[in-house]
Structure 1
Amino acid sequence: MKTTALAQVDSFEDREISELLKWLRLPTMAAQLEQASRQAEAGDWTVRGFLKHLAAAELQARRDRRIERNLKASQLPPGKTLESLNLKRYSLKVRRQVKTLVSGDFLEQCGNILLFGLPGRGKSHMAAALGYELIARGYKVLFAPTYQLVQRLLIAKRELELEKILRRLDSFDCVILDDIGYVQQERDEIEVLFTFLGERYERRSVIVTSNLVFSKWERIFKDPMTTVCAIERLVHHSTILELVCSKSHRLEEAEKRNRGVDLQTPGTARSADSANQSAGAEQ
């Protein structure tokens, strides 16, 4: 009888403590209170050990929820992770660079990553994979095809809300600009893209993918002076990855589906990749 009464008192106190924890916005501690109490009694935990266990569970749950929120906000393409990327296709130098970059240290220094290569060499996949790794380490990342981001900025400018959207983008530790080389902008579009890059210079980071080496970036920014300024701001504090492969991964996959048929003119991609690499080395 006495044992039953004590159990009821303990149960009542647990409910009270649980409610207090919820009011303090500690939902994981509240949810695990009863189970942790039983473990503490069975294991003869100290009070400090009991509190440490609950606090650690709350902290981990908050980290998991933050990562989940950041993943939803990132707009990263599904499945484009390091696990699904065949790093063996790339040089030892690139593999070592990737291993260093996933730590996120470059974000603390407001550094940039520039990915160059011909179509089908995995630039977008690698950029997205780095994005997933950075989010797992607690950073906020946004993935956007360059043309889409430029259009969003242009609309915001016309509606006199450019400053507002730039502040919103500033909340991301890293913005991935995919396929900057495909953008053939009018002057207004060039201005908003240049403004965006200028706002992030030495304050936040960008990851940029491009089929075009720097010597051809005047196609993007039209004006030589604007091109030079954009390149200088991106290159300063940047890591450059040149993705040189003999074949497009899309062709490789197509050849596998077609029983090893060579779908590529012999030597074409290899010579093009070599030319692309040589042009990049001139910068």
Structure 2
Amino acid sequence: MTAPRVKLDIDATRDKLAALGLGHAVETLESLLGEAVRAEMPAHVFLDRLLDAERSGREERRIKTMLKMSKIPTGQTLENFDFAFQPAIERSRIETLATGSWIRNAEVILMQGPPGVGKSHLLVSLGVRAIQIGFSVQYYRFDELLTALGADAHIPPSRLKSKKYMSSSVLLIDEMGYNPMNRDEASLFFRLVSYRYGRGAMIITTNKSIRDWTELLAGDEVLATAILDGLLHRAHVLNIKGRSYRLRDLEEALKG
């Protein structure tokens, strides 16, 4: 006669947890209660474990939701970056950036280098880490960003605050430099950089060295200087040189 009573008590507890919005605790309750009975777990330890399950479940859901909203490509993390293949990248420096202090200071990371050396992988990885430690992130390929800026060109800067490329704590701009900007695009990019200066962090990957930015920015030396001044004043510049990961993978595939 006691077993049904226990079952009813568990169901009642589930209902109360669900009413409080503790869905992850609901899912964990039965298995954790069984473990608690077997191990003669003290009540406060059981409660602590149940709350930990709720907290970790909520955090996992938050990260999953934020990754989806950020549009960050999947599968690239710091854990699967091959530092041994790319000795030009100081692992300790990347690990320091992964702590997020540069985000709190609204700084910029500028990664320069030829195609295939790992710039995009690091950009994505640092973006994922930023979400994990609690920051909002938005990812754009540079051509996508220019399209978004162009669509909003008629909107005054004061009304752009809600746009994700303005409001996100971290703006990821990937693959800048493959096509030069026209004068209007360069001006809109300057507006973005000016607005985010001191307000939000950015990571930019580019195949162009700083000396080539005038050509990239519609040949306008004054505008290029103004943009670089805003970006480099509080910047971490990573010059990445070395072999291409994609060519390495192709070589290995051909060997196989």
Query: Is the shorter-chain TM-score for this pair beyond 0.5, marking a shared fold?
Result: yes
**Aligned residue-pair number:** 254
2:237 maps to 1:240:
yes
Please give the TM-score of this superposition, normalised by the length of structure 1: 0.79
Distance 2:247 2:105 in 1: 38
Distance 1:251 1:35 in 2: 49
CA distance 1:171–1:59, change in 2 (3 Å): farther
> What secondary structure, in the 3-state scheme, does the structure 2 residue paired with 1:142 have?
strand
Distance 1:88 1:218 in 2: 34
Structure 1 unaligned residues grouped into runs of 5+: 261-283
Match of 1:50 among 46, 69, 74: 46
Q: Return the structure number with greater helix share.
A: 1
The percentage of aligned residue pairs carrying the same residue is 27
* CA deviation string 1:36-87 (max 9, x = no partner): 2333333333332222111110000011111111222232233333344322
Moved more, 220-229 or 162-171: 162-171
> What secondary structure, in the 3-state scheme, does the structure 2 residue paired with 1:70 have?
helix
**Residue equivalent to 1:174:** 170
CA distance 1:55–1:259, change in 2 (3 Å): closer
> What secondary structure, in the 3-state scheme, does the structure 1 residue paired with 2:152 have?
helix
2:112 maps to 1:116:
yes
Structure with bigger RCO (C-alpha 8 Å, 6+ apart): 2
Superposed, which structure 2 residues align to 1:82-97 within 5 Å? 82-91=78-87, 94-97=90-93
CA-CA distance at 1:141 after TM superposition = 2.5
Which is greater in Rg? 1
Structure 2 unaligned residues grouped into runs of 5+: none
Say whether the 8 Å CA contact 1:127–1:176 is kept in structure 2: yes
- Please provide the CA RMSD for this pair: 2.5
* CA deviation string 1:18-45 (max 9, x = no partner): 1121121110112222332333333333
CA distance 1:254–1:16, change in 2 (3 Å): closer
2:68 maps to 1:76:
no
Letter of the 1:110 counterpart: A
Letter of the 2:101 counterpart: D
> What secondary structure, in the 3-state scheme, does the structure 2 residue paired with 1:89 have?
coil
Distance 1:43 1:24 in 2: 28
CA-CA distance at 1:147 after TM superposition = 1.3
Please give the TM-score of this superposition, normalised by the length of structure 2: 0.86
Distance 2:235 2:85 in 1: 23
Say whether the 8 Å CA contact 2:119–2:205 is kept in structure 1: yes
